[in-house]
Structure 1
Amino acid sequence: MRVETEQRKGRDSIWSAPFVFLMAVNFFQSTAAFMANATLPVFADSLGATAAMVGVVVSSFTLSSILVRPFAGPAFDSFSRKRMLLASQAVICLSFFAYGFVDSLGVLVAIRLFHGVGIGCSGPLAMSLVSEYLPASKFASGISIYALAQSFAQVIGPATGLYLIDAVGFSAAYFLAAALLVVAMGGIFAIREPYHERLPYQLKLSRMFAREAAGKAFALMLIAVSFSCMTSYVVLYGYERGVADMGLFFVVYALCLVVTRPVLGGLADRVGAPKVIVFGILCFAASYGALSQAHDLPGFLLAAVIGSAGFGCCAPLLQSMGLASVDVPRRGAASNTMFTGLDLGMLVGPVVGGAVAEALAPTLGGLGAAYSTMWLVMLIPAAGTFAIALRWCMRGNRVLRGEDGEGPC
């Protein structure tokens, strides 16, 4: 098994059977996740939730994700990542099944919290596992291509979810999402887990999180605060503007990601991830500016096209930097660190965004105008990620580790 691992490390190709299987797993899980992201705000609204309460419902799962990480993080490097990934997918599957029986906001939040336990483990496990099959020379592009599964899911998931709740109702839509998780678990069974040194399980801070990845996780958290408002409120914002076909927003956004992610990932391998992240955040800011002025479907689609080079490309590049900052036996801790940053951003963003919109609505004459201003307000956290990436770039061509980043700029 050690020989096989060394041979795998020596390969210069991203593509292998386990990598493809993990991409498929990512696709089916992400399709279900994007179905939930697009429909849960509408579901919560139908149960009588206010704008602020919608933010609580959408982001509540990240609270349990964050709470489980200190205990789960050391296990990622101590036990079988494949078996733990299967268990986490099973929790997510049960959560979607349970959504089909919800009849109150309190129950919805409770199930969302249970859902977060599976999400808290699934993302870091899958990312650390897939990183073991990637050559060092193509690490950034490999992570970006792996993330393409989410792009394809983003084409199908939101539009399918919104169509299904109109055609068959919320319950049937969530039962179908649960079936997708069953398919994902089948893909995990087909993977042969590679050998890696397993560390003893210890509840130590250094085993829970990787200090070397902390700076990248903080940068990811800041831009995630801004981005999470788009997934939580863009559909409701479109409805306030009288735009009916909001599923097309996600389709266009995701289709553009199919082009921008591999292109920018390959560019990051050549010129360094920080420079590409700077470009991505500028695109992200331009897309939010376009959203704030959108009044019809073409305006929303323009924001989707510009935004495809924003968070969707910055996130996998930041994650690749975090993973590359540690050795393979500690990839679980590094991945846990990055996803903790992501979850913190996803937790704070919808709550703050909803509170901002609700506070501005009386002054600006309605939720439509309040959401329009909210997009601009939520660019403030993203500016922090922009400043951090600029700092990395100013360090020159040194190989940066720890708080400063990874790889040449």
Structure 2
Amino acid sequence: MSNKPPLWTKDFISVSASNFFVFTVFYILLVTMPMYALEELGGNATEAGLLTTFFLLSAILIRPIAGQWIEKLGKKKVLISSQIIFLVSSVLYFFPDTLGVMLLLRLFHGIGFGMATTATGAMVADIIPDSRRGEGMGYYVMSTNLAMVIGPFLGLTFMQNFGSSFMFVMCVAIAALGLISGVIIRLAEKKHTARALSIFRVNLHLNELFEFSAIRIAVVGGFFSIVYASLLSFVSVYAEELQIGEAAGYFFVVYAVVLLLSRPFTGRWFDQYGANFIIYPSIILFAAGMLVLSQANTALVFLVAAGMIGVGWGTLFPSFQTIAIQEAPREKKASATATFLSIYDLGIGLGSFIIGWVVTQTSFSVLYLSCAIYVAAGLFIYLGLYGRKAKESKEKQRQMI
């Protein structure tokens, strides 16, 4: 008989489902809004790109504030409030008829997204047993990975076959499922008695906006997320250039399947052997996957790269988020989650801009080869910012046993 505390509780499943539904809407709109802006709002390519930039910008800015609201009001209230904002925003997509109004809506929608992802991240940190932190965070983050596969597929299918109105209806339905999943979570929290006016008083001191214990590992995550942005933005375009466009739709499917198969082992090994045991091999595998991708000339090689990247980067992201949460005091775990995700999203935003510029200067093959070298250099970034500390902590634990 196992003495492990249970992981797959109703609350863990509910918070993971809530996260999945929010990210599914995010990815549906991520792949379809530029197309919608060009075809139905009369925008150009630069203006279409701003729809994503505005959304992520408001999410990044609201997260540190959402961390303070969580400490004043509690996680459940912030989650439900954020999902109401997210649902109302989804309903409003039927109305803008100019790009300017749509940009304002994207700002509003990003606020709900930033609050919701901060709240769910903080909630799951409380729900997962400490002894299964790495394993549990791995499964939780997998809800995001699955949304990354399903969201773009649904978005493009809805848009191409049924039109934008049907796509917006489905976004409303999925956002509603996210709200329902959030409502049924039963999280034991201390009673919060913050007065109405104090909720809107935001402490802009850096110590209140950011959890400094999470910054080192957040910078590491942001460093690698720049490369991840190159996959989100351009891997399908690269496939078209290689004349294997039919394989593009399967890239993230293979990514998710391989990740799903590896997750039971990688999360458990993180808990058992420590961060370094998992992170160093994952960085090497991520770099190798980018190298294989840069040399791809057939659909098979392209999808082999997807599998390698799925295990490599798919293991790194939840490991980094787990470290951010572990390093923070219990009362600061919401701020740690907000800090980590803000810097991670900043990396995605910067990456989209930087990679877009690099693509205009060179070929996709050279781009992904450069990304492989960049990821490999990340070994030293991780070693300098956290790897040595993790090794010393593990040695101290051994001496105490």
- TM-score normalised per structure 1: 0.84
Equivalent in the alignment of 2:114 = 120
**What pairs with 1:9-408 in structure 2 (closer than 5 Å)?**
12-43=5-36, 46=39, 49-50=44-45, 55-100=49-94, 105-196=99-190, 203=203, 204-245=205-246, 246-360=248-362, 370-379=363-372, 382-383=375-376, 385-391=378-384, 392-395=386-389, 397-399=391-393
- The residue aligned with 1:4 is none
CA contact (8 A) 1:274 1:393 kept: yes
CA offset digits 1:9-67 (Å, max 9, x no partner) = x97222222111111112222222232333345445656644x6665443332211222
Q: Distance in 2 between matches of 1:107 and 1:374?
A: 35
CA contact (8 A) 1:196 1:328 kept: no
AA at the equivalent of 2:262: T
| CA distance in structure 2 between the partners assigned to 1:298 and 1:105 by the alignment | 40
Cα shift at 1:303: 1.9
1:137-175 deviation line (CA, Å, top 9, x unaligned): 111111111122223333422222222222112332232
Distance 2:176 2:19 in 1: 12
| Greater Cα shift, 260-269 or 31-40 | 31-40
**TM-aligned CA deviation for residue 395 of structure 1:** 4.5
Q: 1:396 to 1:229 in 2, by over 3 A?
A: closer
Equivalent residues, number? 382
Paired residues of 2:286 and 2:311 also in contact (CA < 8 A): yes
Is contact 1:41–1:54 with CA below 8 Å preserved after alignment?
Answer: yes
What amino acid sits opposite 1:333 in the alignment?
S
Q: Name the aligned partner's letter for residue 88 of structure 1.
A: S
Unpaired runs of 5+ in structure 1? 1-9, 361-369, 401-407
State the one-letter code of the partner of 1:216: I
Per-residue deviation at 1:398?
A: 2.8
Counterpart-to-counterpart distance in 2, 1:199 and 1:239: 56
**1:296-336: CA deviation from partner (whole Å, max 9, x where unpaired):** 43333122111111222211111111111122221111111
Q: Is the 8 A contact 2:63 2:118 kept in 1?
A: no
- Whichever residue aligns with residue 169 of structure 1, its letter is G
Q: Shift of residue 290 of structure 1?
A: 2.6
Give me the whole-angstrom Cα distance separating, in 1, the residues matched to 2:92 and 2:293. 34
Matches of 2:230 and 2:93, distance apart in 1: 22
Q: CA RMSD in A?
A: 2.8
Give the C-alpha shift of residue 222 in structure 1: 0.7
Matched AA of 1:227:
Y
CA 1:198–1:372: 2 relative to 1, 3 Å: farther
Measured in 1, the distance between the counterparts of 2:13 and 2:221 equals 26
Greater share of helix residues, 1 or 2? 2
Give the SS at the match of 1:34: helix
* TM-score normalised per structure 2: 0.85
Q: How far apart are 1:207 and its partner, in Å?
A: 2.2
Residue 350 of structure 1 and its aligned partner are, at CA, apart by 0.6
SS in 1 for 2:189: coil
Secondary structure, counterpart of 2:55 in structure 1 = helix
Structure 1 residues 328-337 or 68-77, which shifts more? 68-77
CA distance in 2, matches of 1:331, 1:165: 39
What SS does the corresponding residue of 1:314 show, helix, strand or coil?
A: helix
Residues 317 and 396 (structure 1), Cα distance of their counterparts in 2 relative to 1, 3 Å cut: closer
Distance 1:298 1:45 in 2: 33
Is the contact made by 2:59 and 2:113 (CA closer than 8 Å) also made in structure 1? yes
Question: Does the 8 A contact of 2:64 with 2:335 survive in 1?
Answer: no
**SS of structure 1 residue aligned to 2:392:** coil
Aligned-partner Cα distance in 1 for 2:92–2:225: 27
- Specify whether residues 207 and 113 from structure 1 end up closer, same or farther in structure 2 by C-alpha distance, changes over 3 A only: same
CA contact (8 A) 2:19 2:117 kept: no
Counterpart AA for 1:76: I
- What is the CA–CA distance in structure 2 between the aligned matches of 1:341 and 1:131, rounded to whole Å? 19
